[in-house]
Structure 1
Amino acid sequence: MLIKDIFKEKTVISLEIFPPKPTSPLDTITNMLEEIKDLTPDFISITYGAGGSTKRHTVDIASMVKNKYKIEALAHLTCINSTKDEINRIFQLLKENNIENILALRGDHPDNQPINIEENQDFNYAKDLASYAKSYGGFSLGGACYPEGHLECKNTVENLHHLKEKVDNGLDFLITQLFFDNNLFYNFKEKMELLNIKVPVSAGIMPVINKKQVEKIISLTGASISPKFLKILDKYGDNPSALKEAGIAYATEQIIDLMANEVDGIHLYAMNRPEIAKSIFSSIGSIRKYAANS
């Protein structure tokens, strides 16, 4: 099923997983999927390795999610330094495996080298991939958006104009980068409406369960930590079990507030930790049912 059509029916609740390292077996993912299958997420997204290092794993896992576990799969696809022929081969692989949904991303350069934007490259930006995938046909296309702005954008106005270009090039829905203050999301949505960006948006939520994770999140995404969550870190940061419990509770509170405000969807970055997904899905079970029937 096309994910764009799921958004027409209900509040969409989804999960993200990432492939193991290329040298690792897929058993770890299989074990995790066995644990979370009964949560019945509306879709599971499967990330893409930097520079395409795990692209085969991404297709294999997406196929497993869709064809074995009967859960809709969203395959991440990056385009930087890829040719149209390479992207065509991936499209064909996805179609052969009954995958109908793609998250169209620019991606990062291998080994964290600076992105090289060249006129003779087939794809330099996610908007290029979105346009090409739309013309190829047969896929529902998602894209990333950034409530606090992309790290490479000069300001939030530039960030929103780039987002509009992506959407106008063929995106059907969006998934946000994680955020810790729901007001950032609500303000972002208001600005989207001013620019007439009207596709569904899933709010990306990540439960923080340890101090190192917070540091990594800030360095990679530029996400800010709300004063409320800073107090949690100050109080429980040196107690791993307490911080994990508090982090899950904080993320659950975010989700409840978002759903009360009729968000289009929730996308949970559960970090391949089934116990986190189970805890949160259990806490919002009745709310999820209510949202689906209202």
Structure 2
Amino acid sequence: MTDSPSPIVPPATARVSFEFFPPRSDEAEKTLMGTAQKLAAFGPEFVSMTYGAGGSTRERSLQAAAALVRATGTPVAGHLTCVGASREEVNAVARAYWDCGIRHIVALRGDAAEPGSAFTPHPAGYRNAAELVAGLRAIAPFEISVAAYPETHPEAASPQADLDNLRRKLDAGATRAITQFFFTPETFLRFRDKAAGAGITAPIVPGILPIANVAQARRFAAQCGAHMPPELLRQLDGLDADPPLRAEVTTAIAAQLCATLRRHGVEDFHIYTLNRALSSAALCRLLGLPAASAAQSTAGRARQVVQA
């Protein structure tokens, strides 16, 4: 990719998917379901439910994913990791997903339960995400998404080694890659071009983080190696003290990022919601996605339940 790629005509309509995390209380569950139902009105391709480090949220993730199926009628993807479990245990979770109607898995190696600790495979477990993808393919005809890292996974030996690992996951049978969040369009576009140059033809979907809390976003970025350019930090400075202004500014920043990507042919966006509806819904509106009325959304969910 050149430093100033030539823009192309953006697609007429963007497509979105949303990521949620499992609630830790009854009140948080109500918030999650309310958020999911509001965002379902934008017709997402799917929604996903994360799986805690070391499998620490296994039961809550399964329960929340199943609840999303019932509450929204939207296709749900359950996250699944290799950490701290044998192949038999991981396979059992995959079958549990299938049994509750989930046909899409986000297959991840996963992080150690102890922050900062190196990943160590279970003696009887999958050693990496590529092995997990192959194992899932042997269980059922799942749709499978995997992770990609535009700024290189922190544990990768090199950017090329990280790209080679992505290709192994896709060659093992994954459907698409979803990226870690990033903050400049060039970050994604350069990565997309490098992946294409390496012979990767599967869709690579950019992960978009509408910043809900600046301090939290900075922590997330430090943990995963996502660069926050000085100009962005200046725009964000002091916004945590003014939540209404923060919401307006950070939504505009995310929308501008998506608009630039669309001008370069990107059609799909995976939005990290942090279980909050407002910023994600505003971003969808700015992407040109109309929200169905409550009645239409409810009727659509009812039809899908009946058809299931």
Q: Structure 1-normalised TM-score? A: 0.87
Q: 1:122 aligns with which of 115, 122, 125?
A: 125
Q: Does 1:76 pair with 2:83?
A: no
Aligned to 1:138: 141
| 24-33 or 69-78: bigger deviation | 24-33
Q: Structure 2-normalised TM-score? A: 0.83
| 81-90 or 170-179: bigger deviation | 81-90
Q: 1:19 aligns with which of 3, 19, 22?
A: 22
Q: Distance in 2 between matches of 1:205 and 1:51?
A: 24
Aligned to 2:201: 198
Size of the alignment, in residue pairs? 279
Larger RCO, structure (CA 8 Å, separation 6 or more) = 2
Q: 1:273 aligns with which of 266, 276, 279?
A: 276
Q: Distance in 2 between matches of 1:155 and 1:253?
A: 30
Residue type at the aligned position of 2:200: I
Q: What is the CA deviation profile of residues 13-41 of structure 1, one whole-angstrom value per residue up to 9, with x for unaligned ones?
A: 11111111278763332222233232221
Residue 210 and residue 33 in structure 1: after superposition, are their counterparts in 2 closer, same or farther (change >3 A)? Answer: closer
Q: Distance in 1 between matches of 2:135 and 2:120?
A: 18
Q: Distance in 2 between matches of 1:151 and 1:122?
A: 22
Q: Does 1:155 pair with 2:163?
A: no
Q: Quick one: percent identity of the two aligned structures?
A: 28
Residue 118 and residue 179 in structure 1: after superposition, are their counterparts in 2 closer, same or farther (change >3 A)? Answer: closer
Residue 47 and residue 118 in structure 1: after superposition, are their counterparts in 2 closer, same or farther (change >3 A)? Answer: closer
Q: Distance in 2 between matches of 1:148 and 1:280?
A: 24
Aligned to 1:47: 50
Q: Does 1:176 pair with 2:179?
A: yes
Which stretches in structure 1 are left out of the alignment for 5+ residues? 1-9, 289-294
Q: Measure how far apart 1:217 and its partner are.
A: 1.7
Query: What is the DSSP-based 3-state SS (H/G/I as helix, E as strand, rest coil) of the residue aligned with 1:13?
Result: strand
How does 1:207-218 map onto structure 2 within 5 Å?
Answer: 207-218=210-221
Q: Measure how far apart 1:238 and its partner are.
A: 4.8
Q: Deviation above 4 Å: which 4+ runs of structure 1?
A: 22-25, 235-238
Q: Distance in 1 between matches of 2:237 and 2:152?
A: 26
Aligned to 1:3: none
Q: Distance in 2 between matches of 1:208 and 1:25?
A: 19
Q: Measure how far apart 1:190 and its partner are.
A: 0.7
Query: What is the DSSP-based 3-state SS (H/G/I as helix, E as strand, rest coil) of the residue aligned with 2:106?
Result: strand
Residue type at the aligned position of 1:90: V
Q: Distance in 2 between matches of 1:13 and 1:209?
A: 19
Q: Distance in 2 between matches of 1:281 and 1:211?
A: 21
* Mapped contact 1:200–1:264 kept (Cα < 8 A): no
Q: What is the CA deviation profile of residues 180-229 of structure 1, one whole-angstrom value per residue up to 9, with x for unaligned ones?
A: 01101110011101111111111111112333123212222110012431
* Mapped contact 1:16–1:46 kept (Cα < 8 A): yes
Residue 213 and residue 119 in structure 1: after superposition, are their counterparts in 2 closer, same or farther (change >3 A)? Answer: closer
Which stretches in structure 2 are left out of the alignment for 5+ residues? 1-12, 292-308
Q: Distance in 2 between matches of 1:69 and 1:209?
A: 24
How does 1:96-115 map onto structure 2 within 5 Å?
Answer: 96-112=99-115, 114-115=117-118
Query: What is the DSSP-based 3-state SS (H/G/I as helix, E as strand, rest coil) of the residue aligned with 1:27?
Result: helix
Aligned to 1:4: none
Aligned to 2:63: 60
Q: Measure how far apart 1:119 and its partner are.
A: 8.3
Aligned to 2:5: none
Aligned to 1:244: 247
